[in-house]
Amino acid sequence: MAHLLRRATFGPRAMDLDEAERIGFGATLDGLLTQTGPTPGTDPGAERTPVPPAERDPYAVLPKNADGDAKAAAVKAQKAQVVALTSWWVNRMVSAEHQAREKLTFFWHGHWATSAQKVRSANLMRTQQQTLYRLAGGDFGPMVHAMVRDPALIYWLDGQRNSAAAPNENLARELMELFTLGIGNYSEADVKEGARALTGWQLDRVEGTASFSPKRFDSKPKTILGKRADHDADDFVELLLAHPATAKFVTARLWFRYASGEPVPAQTHERLVAAYGAKRDITAALRAMFTDPAFAATRGQLVKQPVEWAVGAMRQLGVEPGSWKENDRKQLNAALDALGQVPFAPPSVGGWPAGAAWLTTSTTQVRLGLANRFANNVSPATLDAVASAPAAGRPDALARLLAVESFSTRTRAVLLDAGNSGKQADLRRQIALALASPEYCVQ
């Protein structure tokens, strides 16, 4: 049960675990999966952290003859918008009750990995994030159709430069390699022909929209994945969705981020693909994964990504970054950057790394520093809960607080040693060390 919550959500709190025990595994799983669907019900945590209103891209609205100073000011304003949007998302992930949906949205962000550092417009990134949130669960098809016309993705992969006159292959290639089929399931000819099917899309960076311009579209027949017709973007997407490799690829990606960095066992993979099925149902695939015997055996095989680690920790400690002063929020973003993962800023279209890549000496040091910051902002209620445990029982109290199965002898010794006076500073240090511990970071 705790394993399910640790994987399906960012960081289950003791009360979440208690509630799950009370209602049982089946009802808990149903609840989590309902969150990902079209009718998730109300989420007071999300309502407390509403999406910031769309703002025009300050650079895009500049007149053509704007001088250097105006441009520099606009670039600065763009960056400030992106930072604000990033802070909002982190805050939302911490606050939302529908943790499974938030985590799935973040999974999709890593899947369609688009970076504001090229796109630059907070407005475009916001639109993409909302699309991923809206279409997170259920049928994968609408998401792919939406993404080939998503302004941020198009700009990220030069889709607006792709025209009948001379196609630009960037988007077509990554669409097949990284988003749907996976490598080895298409030919170079498919890339070239697919690029032609994606021609015609243009961006309005002022309005933050993408539109189809028939003049720029290559309407001649193309052969994609063996089918010849005058395919357009939606036809191309349908071919990708119908291809058996897509089901295999997408379910393997879910396994990779939710279950284990080890390859999905063949029989489990078959079950996930079957659940995904003709309805291309992501929610059903998640259900199949979480209930698969192989999933239960993946304990200790997943390194928390930095955002997962930080969001889960803040939630468990009752830390609300939205109430922090601006400078502290900046420090949080800087620490996430030093850990190698900032929302809206994946390192490449391949998304973020996984596993041991997060476990370097440098990240260990940064993680401890950020854990210390969290511990210094812990809610009074959380601190009281830890303080109420007798000194010798504090490792167990921390394990309960942080949904850790149990701390090893090594970590227990460190925790006991760090907090024998029971003073507030000691308690905080114990919390931070527990957050930095191998048992918390690798679950």
Partner 1 sequence: MDTVTRRRFLVASGVVGGTALAAGAGTLTWRELFRTEKLRSGHSTGTLVLITLYGGNDGLATVVPHADPAYRQARGDLAIPGESVLPLDQTVGLSPSLAAFKRQFDAGHLAVVRGVGYPKPDRSHFRSMDIWQTADPVQPGNTGWIGRFLDANRAADSRWAVTFEPVLPPVLAGASKAGAAVTTNGLKLPSGYRTPMLAGLGRPEEESPLRARAARAFADLVRVDEMVRGLPEHEETEETEDGMPAATSTGGGKASLAQQLRLIARCVEAEVAPRVYSASLGGFDLHADGHEAQLTLLRDLDKAVGSFLDRMARTPAGRRVVVAVYSEFGRRVRANASDGTDHGTASDMFLLGVPVRGGLYGAPPSLTDLDDGDLKYTTDFRDVYGTLLADVLDTDPAQVLGGWTGRLPELLH
| Residues numbered 329-348 forming contacts with partner 1, rule: CB under 8 A | 334, 337-340, 345-348
- Report 147-166 residues binding partner 1 (CB under 8 A): 156-158, 161-163, 165-166
- Quick one: which of 267, 229, 264, 235 has its CA closest to 250? 264
Binding mask 236-275 for partner 1 (x = CB under 8 A): -------------------------x--------------
Two structure tokens written together for 422: 């029971």
Two structure tokens written together for 44: 């007071």
Q: CA-CA distance, 177 to 157, in Å (whole number)? A: 13
3-class state of residue 32 by DSSP: helix
Q: Does 143 bind partner 1 (CB under 8 A)?
A: no
Q: How many CB atoms lie within 10 A of CB 37?
A: 15
Two structure tokens written together for 194: 């697919």
The correct pick among 9, 35, 115, 246 for binding partner 1 (CB under 8 A) is 115
Q: Does 45 bind partner 1 (CB under 8 A)?
A: no
Give the HSE-up count for residue 436: Cα atoms under 13 Å, Cβ half-sphere.
25
Cβ 176 to partner 1, closest distance in Å? 9
Cβ 156 to partner 1, closest distance in Å? 6
3-class state of residue 204 by DSSP: strand
Give the HSE-up count for residue 384: Cα atoms under 13 Å, Cβ half-sphere.
4
3-class state of residue 127 by DSSP: helix
Task: Kindly indicate which of the ranges 125-133, 202-210, 318-326, 405-413 contains the residues binding partner 1, using the contact rule CB under 8 A.
Answer: 405-413
Q: Does 409 bind partner 1 (CB under 8 A)?
A: yes
33 backbone dihedrals φ, ψ, rounded to 5°:
-75, -35
Two structure tokens written together for 222: 């193309």
- Report 371-390 residues binding partner 1 (CB under 8 A): 372
Q: Does 129 bind partner 1 (CB under 8 A)?
A: no
Two structure tokens written together for 380: 């009074």
Kindly tell me which of 323 and 348 has the beta carbon lying closer to partner 1: 348
Binding mask 280-319 for partner 1 (x = CB under 8 A): -------------------xxxxx----------------
Q: Does 142 bind partner 1 (CB under 8 A)?
A: no
Q: Does 436 bind partner 1 (CB under 8 A)?
A: yes
Q: Does 169 bind partner 1 (CB under 8 A)?
A: yes
The correct pick among 31, 138, 142, 355 for binding partner 1 (CB under 8 A) is 355
Give the HSE-up count for residue 59: Cα atoms under 13 Å, Cβ half-sphere.
18
